[in-house]
Amino acid sequence: MDAQIHRQLANLEVAEMALRQNLHGHVQDATTRAHLERALAHVREASLSEEGANARSVNQLVRELTGMERFFESLQTQTDGPLRPS
């Protein structure tokens, strides 16, 4: 592994640790949490691409994350309703 790639991976690792620390803090704002989670996903993708794996494009990642967010929201609305017919 050449020195530049090694430095980039080290920087990505530092970025991931910082994002994780912020996420494990008490983030009250849902928008901030969503942005931090998306940033963490981007950092992970970048780490994979530096290691030679087939990473998704940013647009693919955003589409997939948006789809997952919608899915989780739909699950939440399903559980917010009555569990049994009254």
The position carrying tokens 């494009």 is 57
User: Which pLDDT score, from 0 to 100, does residue 55 have?
Assistant: 61
Residue predicted with more confidence, 82 or 31: 31
Whether this model's pTM surpasses 0.75 = no
Residue 86 has pLDDT above 70, yes or no: no
pLDDT category of residue 82 using cuts at 50, 70 and 90: low
Please tell me what DSSP assigns to residue 7.
Answer: H
pLDDT category of residue 28 using cuts at 50, 70 and 90: confident
User: Which pLDDT score, from 0 to 100, does residue 14 have?
Assistant: 92
Please tell me what DSSP assigns to residue 13.
Answer: H
Cα–Cα distance for residue pair 35/23, rounded to 1 Å: 10
